[in-house]
Amino acid sequence: MSVDMRTFLGHVELANPITTAAGCAASGRELAQFFDLHRLGALVTRSITMAPRAGRPTPRMAETPAGLLNAVGLQGPGVDAFLERELPWLAQRGIKTIVSIGGGTVAEYAALARRLADAPGVTAVEVNLSCPNIEDRGRVFAREGGAAAEVIASVRSVMRYDVPVIAKLAPDVADIAAVARACVDAGADALSMINNPLGMSIDTVTLKPALAAVTGGLSGPAILPLAVRCVWQVHSALPGTPIIGVGGVMTGADAFQLILAGACAVGVGTALFHDPYACLRIERELEDLLRARGFQRLADAVGLAHRPPGSAARHLHEESSL
Amino acid sequence: MSVDMRTFLGHVELANPITTAAGCAASGRELAQFFDLHRLGALVTRSITMAPRAGRPTPRMAETPAGLLNAVGLQGPGVDAFLERELPWLAQRGIKTIVSIGGGTVAEYAALARRLADAPGVTAVEVNLSCPNIEDRGRVFAREGGAAAEVIASVRSVMRYDVPVIAKLAPDVADIAAVARACVDAGADALSMINNPLGMSIDTVTLKPALAAVTGGLSGPAILPLAVRCVWQVHSALPGTPIIGVGGVMTGADAFQLILAGACAVGVGTALFHDPYACLRIERELEDLLRARGFQRLADAVGLAHRPPGSAARHLHEESSL
Amino acid sequence: MQVTGTVLTTRRVDAYHALTVVAPGIAERFRPGHFVSVSVGGANTAMVTRRAFYVHDVKPEYGGTVELVFSAGGPGTAWLAERRARDTIDLVGPLGRPFPLPRDPVHCVLVGSEYGSAVLFPLADALAERGCRVDFVLGAASADRVFGAMRARRMAERATVTLTTEDGSLGVRGTVSDALPAVVAGTRADVVYACGPMRTLRAVTAVAIEADIPVQVAVEESMACGIGICMTCVLPVIGDDGVTRMTRACAEGPVFRGERVRFEDVGTIPFDALGAPGGGARHVS
Amino acid sequence: MQVTGTVLTTRRVDAYHALTVVAPGIAERFRPGHFVSVSVGGANTAMVTRRAFYVHDVKPEYGGTVELVFSAGGPGTAWLAERRARDTIDLVGPLGRPFPLPRDPVHCVLVGSEYGSAVLFPLADALAERGCRVDFVLGAASADRVFGAMRARRMAERATVTLTTEDGSLGVRGTVSDALPAVVAGTRADVVYACGPMRTLRAVTAVAIEADIPVQVAVEESMACGIGICMTCVLPVIGDDGVTRMTRACAEGPVFRGERVRFEDVGTIPFDALGAPGGGARHVS
Ligand SMILES: Cc1cc2nc3c(=O)[nH]c(=O)nc-3n(C[C@H](O)[C@H](O)[C@H](O)COP(=O)(O)OP(=O)(O)OC[C@H]3O[C@@H](n4cnc5c(N)ncnc54)[C@H](O)[C@@H]3O)c2cc1C
Ligand SMILES: Cc1cc2nc3c(=O)[nH]c(=O)nc-3n(C[C@H](O)[C@H](O)[C@H](O)COP(=O)(O)OP(=O)(O)OC[C@H]3O[C@@H](n4cnc5c(N)ncnc54)[C@H](O)[C@@H]3O)c2cc1C
Ligand SMILES: Cc1cc2nc3c(=O)[nH]c(=O)nc-3n(C[C@H](O)[C@H](O)[C@H](O)COP(=O)(O)O)c2cc1C
Ligand SMILES: Cc1cc2nc3c(=O)[nH]c(=O)nc-3n(C[C@H](O)[C@H](O)[C@H](O)COP(=O)(O)O)c2cc1C
Ligand code: FES
Ligand code: FES
């Protein structure tokens, strides 16, 4: 018996819940050498910027316990080249594509959205809010609900109504549910979380930061418990909003945790670096787990850990471990 | 040639920089079965509360990749029993003891400080700010600079001037340097970071949260990159303030990372659960590393990664990985 | 103490794996009921916590060996099951408070469920040495999970061995606690010792209370440290003063007097426990 | 492609470890200059990234084997050094763009430093097959780190093998680039192929430019994925259009034309690179 793996981001249907994570699948072509991209729920692009970006100097990566630090710095071709070469390649093949965008000002996000508004093949727009706001001393948009909401409102106002706008949130905040709510109030149709928490590693031989950029984003299994917690808290606060759960997913069981916490789709990033087939494997493992537990539809598992079978909704202190 | 491992928290001298992390050494007696506690730089107690606390229901722990989630809930005997039975045991043996305190209101912290003010054998007081503020809808003090500062000011005003007050900070904030500055402005003599970021795990067999308390604190190697980053950012902002670096330290090299980032002492928590001798081993490994790299004094390594040998101070974007 | 032990032999015993490890210091200090904690996963593992195991057997060879019996479930026990002779493993132990032994040569019934039976054999030896009569009740879900039946039969020349399985594939259909009342009555037992899952210990304790004889249970709680410092392994236990405290299974246990354990409240903080929220004590969260 | 390969043999070669792995699919597709990435640490490891290794040798046995040569430094290579015959390892490959081969039977100098020499032997075979003359310059810090001297001597019957060590313990004292100009002149080389650390490749490239002959270098950059999706392995390379781009060593490389690599700018973003901060392009951070 096969499980109905379809899921919805707003009114956009995905054939299955497993997507790539933003910035972890380059242009798509690289992974296409390994498997048919149609088997993805969706491909999420790297965060597209207005101008081409060379990114950060190397070293850009450092391994940490069960994790990876990266400071790539949104290297990419810029929106013109993206619309000319990358998006059409995906669109012609009919690959569901969620375009991630990144900017330094509200106006830049809006301008990016405008460029995407008429482009064919944009399934949804994911707004990477983990970019420094150059009009606010480099403060990252995602760390402040007001700034995040402004970006979302401006993007939402520009995009066609049938293209969902997804706000991608970062965990480095005191209250992720508050930031999420601000984004939804500003018009976000869905949320994606988590982007990389900021980390750092120091090389004890050279006595210098391991990354040229000093700090970098932490990804991989180490952050799975943070992702599960963020998805849980936001789904608690906004049960009606679709969530793409991202962060440290290496197996179907990891994806299942995010789904039980409230995600209806799951992004896979660092796992792809280890296993180019990770998305397919995780999708298969997830389906097997669902089937083994008697689920006929993925949708029935979404957020289920909030309503344990046979018990009334629980009211629990969730704010502190102490 | 032996390295001078002495370090200072304010004007309190520790023979070496390695301490236990708060809440990870019970009453001290448990570890004393394994080694002589005098060999610690200091013993940090569990967070002492006014009343005895039974803590949270079990399960209280879940393993995560390179990490551990705990939701113990500050189980402890309360300040009376602590002053009667635990502190005297340590004081009589002359073990340097940093007493951690936890409360639900500013007044409760102040009351705890008052109880400690006259107690003999208090080397320093560490204020655990990761407790929910029952006067602010359970918002954790450490997540809001103002609330944290109020607690620190009230504790500082009560403690004897020669007993340093250490503010223990949590990483679940948008700007840890801002919280740190608020605490220092309110009178904190030193800072300790990081407390556990909030995480969660879901049991994919029972389909329920793995912890009875739903969410819990993440500790262990997974969080080392977050701890290094926090110490780095705060030392950058407040180079004169002593920092106890805590979070995921399993080896001397991990401790060395925190020291190069700006910590002058290092707390060891989860590693003790795996290796009761962890503090001694880490101290030895750290000393070996320092010696191998030609350091004669630990103090010379503190914060050194901010000033790489042979180069001018760097100015680097540190706010974002992107 | 911490010991790097060399694996001497590995074998399968029905559903279980048995590992004999050279660990002189631990073997020497061992008393029945002690457990050890094992570091799993090797260098650069993502598994940060040790795994706890009862010591099944101690032998004097090579300065002292300990045998562990375990079922491979999660990743840590799966790793352990892959160890081979000459591999080394890192043990901390012996840990916990062992079974108290009676001074007089009394009649004892030893009750074990699943791998819980493993811990009973060194206990049986110690009891036999003191001239106690030792009867066994060993059970599990199915025949391949009943541990130690043969050895029990060999030991219990002048006593009885009762086997139970839930599926009836061996011995009496049912659980050890179903079979226990008859054994207690038949052997005129003075004391019961038990090890197994919490629900088994609860039922066994009820039987002993009913029979008005003391019962010592060795419990199993999730443990992050095994040495009393992490406070994750607690269960509600009534103290000598009548006060219920959240008590560490690793440091104050794993052996408790059965009637002192509030089995029905395991997994909760009973409202009348010392420091319970609302229980007189103010709480901060 | 991803292959679970069985280790056939392991051996020590001076300072290096060599591992022969049965990996038919990879062996079949292999061209000289390709590399593979290896998953390290086994189940439940804390090491999340693969390690990249050049393929030293490919043999048809067992459907196809690949041999890797590596020095055990960090935890991943240390783990790999502990593999034994019959263990399985997980490989992805062949990866990268291989060395371009000349159409004509030209004179080639192959320059290898440390384990970088390993990648030159399948290349030498391919060149020899095309009737090229192949001379070697192999070097390292010390004698035990010069890889492949014997094999080079065996291959290069009608050609020369020059060895260099920085400590003078073998061959000429100095580096491969010190020795290279004389070899290029003496053999009237038409092309240079090189593999080794970045500073070696930089010096070798300078020699080739000076001699006005093409040079192909196989570079080594820290890689998190090896398949072109993580963007961590970039270095500044000048394109056919004269524009410098931060170019992926794994996908566009690891083999580049030496004069196209801006060695002096590796580890920086040259101000004139496409998308450099301030370089015409607006930047968001
Ligand atoms: C005092 C004591 C003695 C024990 N003796 C034995 C024995 O002799 N034979 C045997 O097979 N098992 C024994 N256990 C149970 C054994 O510790 C667990 O089966 C084992 O830890 C599970 O590890 P895992 O990697 O397979 O599972 P995982 O689920 O990956 O374990 C994850 C974490 O949870 C903890 N954990 C999970 N299940 C248990 C459990 N049932 N009890 C305690 N901690 C758990 C682990 O220690 C680990 O920290 C004993 C437990 C205790 C507390
Ligand atoms: C294309 C290519 C081919 C290579 N071929 C060989 C070879 O044939 N033999 C050999 O001995 N080594 C080779 N290397 C280097 C080898 O990949 C590293 O030595 C190895 O990854 C270090 O792993 P570790 O666990 O010992 O060190 P760690 O420091 O623990 O590695 C941590 C992380 O950094 C990366 N890393 C560290 N050093 C290097 C490095 N020098 N190059 C690339 N990534 C690095 C690792 O991949 C890992 O992700 C090659 C590298 C590349 C890029
Ligand atoms: C190398 C790398 C590049 C990334 N680039 C982007 C990006 O361009 N935009 C974005 O929103 N997130 C980016 N991310 C974050 C991921 O999309 C994802 O949120 C995060 O890595 C956690 O998931 P993971 O643990 O599965 O990798 C990047 C992550 C990595 C590791
Ligand atoms: C079981 C457990 C109990 C803890 N109890 C306290 C506590 O009482 N007070 C406190 O400030 N921090 C407490 N912490 C946090 C630690 O002191 C430390 O900040 C954190 O665990 C990170 O360090 P580690 O990775 O070395 O464990 C506790 C951590 C653990 C794992
Ligand atoms: S397991 Fe840590 S206190 Fe018992
Ligand atoms: S290693 Fe990932 S892009 Fe090259």
Name the residue at shortest CA distance from atom 15 of ligand 4. Answer: B195
Flag whether A42 is in a domain.
Answer: yes
Give residues with Cβ within 8 angstroms of B118, minimum separation 6: none
DSSP letter (8 states) at residue A59: P
Q: Which of B162, B167, B163, B159 is nearest to B117 (CA)?
A: B159
Across the interface, whether the CB atoms of D285 and B65 are under 8 A apart is answered: no
Query: Nearest to residue C145, comparing CAs of C11, C12, C14?
Result: C14
Evaluate whether residue A116 is within a structural domain: yes
Average pLDDT, chain C: 93
Q: Residue B155: which domain range? A: 7-55+72-198+218-320
| Span B166-191, average pLDDT | 97
Residue C283, pLDDT > 60, answer: no
Domain-embedded: residue A277: yes
Nearest by CB to residue C285, choosing from A66, A221, A322, is A322
Angstrom distance (rounded) from CA B181 to CA B233: 11
Q: Which residue has the tokens 């030498």?
A: D124
Question: What is the atom index within ligand 5 of the atom nearest the CA of C52?
Answer: 1
Output the pLDDT for position A221.
Answer: 98
Give the strand pairing for A265-268 and A43-48. unpaired
Give the rounded percent of residues in chain A with a pLDDT score beyond 70. Answer: 95
**Mutation test of the interface with chain B: which of C91, C232, C266, choosing the one with the most B Cβ atoms within 10 A?**
C232
Enter the tokens of residue C184: 């207690």
Q: Quick one: pLDDT at residue A136?
A: 87
In angstroms, the CA D240 to CA C166 distance is 76
A135 Cβ below 6 A of ligand 2: no
Query: How large is the average pLDDT for residues A123-147?
Result: 93
Taking the CA of residue C248 as reference, the ligand 5 atom at the shortest distance is 4
pLDDT of residue A310: 58
Give the tens place of pLDDT for each residue, B68-94. 999 999 999 999 999 999 999 999 999
Q: In this complex, is the C-beta atom of D46 within 8 Å of any C-beta atom belonging to chain B?
A: yes
D250-282 burial code (b ≥16 CB/10 A, e <16):
bbbbbbbebebbbbebbeebbeebbbbbebebb
Average pLDDT over every residue of A65-70: 98
Pocket test for ligand 5, best of C97, C230, C246 (most atoms within 8 A of CB): C230
Q: Taking 70 as the threshold, does the pLDDT of residue C168 lie above it?
A: yes
pLDDT band, very low/low/confident/very high, at B316 (cuts 50, 70, 90): very low
End-to-end Cα separation, chain A, in angstroms: 44
Cβ neighbours, 10 Å, residue C26: 25
The mean per-residue pLDDT over the stretch C41-56 comes to 96
Q: Is any ligand 4 atom within 6 A of the Cβ of residue B201?
A: no
Burial of A285: CB neighbours in 10 Å, binned 0-12, 13-18, 19+: middle
Residue A166 lies in a domain: yes
What is the dotted CATH code of the domain comprising D2-95?
2.40.30.10
Q: What is the pLDDT of residues A185-222, one digit of tens each?
A: 999 999 999 999 999 999 999 999 999 999 999 999 99
**Band of the pLDDT at A175, cuts 50, 70, 90?**
very high
Asked whether the beta carbons of residue C225 and residue B273 sit closer than 8 angstroms, the reply is: yes
What is the Å distance from ligand 2's center to D36 Cα? 11
- Per cent of chain B over pLDDT 70 is 95
Hey, which bits of A151-281 come out as E strands?
165-169, 190-193, 198-200, 202-203, 208-209, 215-219, 243-246, 265-268
Q: Which residue has the tokens 């995600």?
A: A263
Nearest atom in ligand 5 to C229's CA: 3
Report the residue of chain A nearest C284, measured CA to CA: A322
Q: Which two tokens stand for residue D206?
A: 């300078």
* Per-residue model confidence (pLDDT) at position D279: 56
The shortest C-alpha distance from D76 to chain C (Å) reads: 9
In a domain, A210, yes or no: no
Tens-place pLDDT, residues C92-105: 999 999 999 999 99
Cβ pair D285:B317 closer than 8 A: yes
Q: Pick from D221, D245, D282: which is nearest to A58 by CB? A: D221
Nearest CA-CA distance, residue A132 and chain D, Å:
6
Q: How confident is the model at residue C56 (pLDDT cuts 50, 70, 90)?
A: very high
Mutant choice from A204, A311, A314 vs B, greatest count of B C-beta within 10 A = A204
- Give the chain A residue whose CA is nearest to the CA of B56: A322
| Angle (nearest 5°) at CA B176 between B171 and B178 | 155
Q: Whose CA is nearest to atom 15 of ligand 3?
A: A195
Q: Is the pLDDT of residue A15 over 80?
A: yes
Q: How far is C150 from chain B (nearest CA, A)?
A: 34
Residue of C nearest to B70 (CA): C232
- Closest-CA distance, D59 to chain A, in angstroms, reads 25
Residues A268 and A24 sit within 8 Å (Cβ to Cβ): yes
- A66 to C285: CB separation less than 8 angstroms, yes or no: no
Question: HSE of C87 in the Cβ direction (CA atoms, 13 Å)?
Answer: 19
Q: Search chain B and give the residue with CA nearest A60.
A: B321
- The span from the CA of C127 to the CA of D55, in Å, is 64
Please tell me the residue having the least CA distance from ligand 4 atom 10. B22
The pocket around ligand 3, CB under 6 angstroms, is made up of A 21-24, 46-47, 70, 72, 74, 100, 128, 168, 195-196, 217, 219-220, 223, 246-249, 268-271; D 230
Q: Do A54 and D2 touch (CB under 8 A)?
A: no
Is residue D38's pLDDT more than 50? Answer: yes
Residue of A nearest to B317 (CA): A213
ipTM: 0.95
- For D133: left if phi > 0, alpha if psi spans -120 to 50, otherwise beta; the answer is beta
Is B271 exposed, middle or buried (CB count within 10 Å of its CB: 0-12, 13-18, 19+)?
buried
B301 is a domain residue: yes
Asked whether the beta carbons of residue A322 and residue C46 sit closer than 8 angstroms, the reply is no
Query: If you search the block for the tokens 């001290």, which residue do you land on?
Result: B28
- Of residues A301 and B137, the one with the higher pLDDT is A301
Q: Alpha-carbon distance A34 to A26, whole Å? A: 14
- For residues D13 and D30, the answer to whether their CB atoms sit within 8 Å is no
Nearest CA in chain C to A317: C285
Look up residue C91 and give its two tokens: 């043990």
Q: How confident is the model at residue B319 (pLDDT cuts 50, 70, 90)?
A: very low
Atom of ligand 4 nearest to the CA of B192: 19
List active site positions of A. Answer: 131
| B66: closest CA of chain D, how far (Å) | 6
A77 falls within a domain: yes
Residue matched to tokens 């400071």: A71
Chain A residues in contact with B312 (beta carbon < 8 A)? none
Give the distance from residue B96's alpha carbon to the nearest chain D alpha carbon, in angstroms.
35
Mutate which of C35, C95, C227 for ligand 5 pocket (most atoms within 8 A of beta carbon):
C227
CA distance A204 to C88: 29
Read off the pLDDT of residues D149-208 as tens digits, 9 standing for 90 and up: 988 888 877 789 999 999 999 999 999 999 999 999 999 999 999 999 999 999 999 999
The architecture that CATH gives domain D99-220 is 3-Layer(aba) Sandwich (3.40)
- Return the residue whose CA atom lies nearest to atom 19 of ligand 3: A195
Q: Provide the pLDDT for residue D119.
A: 94
Q: What is the mean pLDDT of chain A?
A: 94
- Which has the minimum average pLDDT: A294-298, B244-248, D193-197, D275-279? D275-279
Give tens-digit pLDDT for B180-230.
999 999 999 999 999 999 999 999 999 999 999 999 999 999 999 999 999
Q: Specify the length of chain A in residues.
A: 322
Residue C233: CB within 6 Å of ligand 5? Answer: yes
Ligand 6 within 6 A of CB of D250: yes
Tally of domains in chain B: 1
Q: What is the mean pLDDT of residues B109-132?
A: 96
Q: What is the pLDDT confidence band of residue C154, given thresholds at 50, 70 and 90?
A: confident
Chain C residues whose CB is inside 8 A of the D78 CB are: 43
Position A137 pLDDT exceeds 90: no
Taking only the tens place, the pLDDT of each residue in B44-69 is 999 999 999 999 999 999 999 999 99
Per-residue pLDDT, averaged over C174-178, amounts to 94
Does the pLDDT of residue A312 top 70, yes or no? no
Q: What is the DSSP string of A63-104?
A: EETTEEEE-----B-HHHHIIIIIHHHHHHTT--EEEEE--S
Q: Which of C49, C231, C245 to mutate to test the pocket of ligand 5 (most atoms within 8 A of CB)?
A: C231
Nearest CB neighbour to A277, from listed D2, D46, D47 = D2
Percentage with pLDDT > 70 across chain D: 97
D284 and chain B in contact, CB less than 8 A: yes
The domain that holds B167 is classified in CATH as 3.20.20.70
Q: Work out the pLDDT band at A33, boundaries 50, 70, 90.
A: very high
Confidence band of B321 (pLDDT split at 50, 70, 90): very low
Indicate the burial class of C154 (C-beta count within 10 angstroms; 0-12, 13-18, 19 or more).
exposed
**Tokens 């570091």 correspond to what residue?**
C39
Write down the domain spans for chain D.
Answer: 2-95, 99-220, 225-277
Cβ-in-10-Å burial (0-12, 13-18, 19+) of A309 comes to exposed
pLDDT, mean over chain B: 94
The answer to whether C245 touches C235, Cβ cutoff 8 Å, is no
Arithmetic mean of pLDDT, C150-172: 89
Query: Please, are residues B283 and B45 in contact by the beta-carbon 8 Å criterion?
Result: no
Domain contains A18: yes
Q: How confident is the model at residue B137 (pLDDT cuts 50, 70, 90)?
A: confident
Q: Taking the CB of residue A294, how many other CB atoms lie within 10 A of it?
A: 9
- Helix A145-158 × helix A176-185 angle, to 10°: 30
Establish whether residue D256 lines the binding site of ligand 2, counting it when its CB lies within 6 angstroms of any ligand atom.
Answer: no
Instruction: Please report which confidence band the pLDDT of residue D285 belongs to, taking 50, 70 and 90 as the band edges.
Output: very low
Active-site position among B24, B131, B183, B230: B131
How many beta carbons lie within 10 A of that of residue A216, not counting itself? 33
Q: Is the Cβ atom of B266 under 6 angstroms away from ligand 4?
A: no
Question: What residues contact residue B316 under an 8 Å CB cut-off, 6+ apart?
Answer: A213, A214
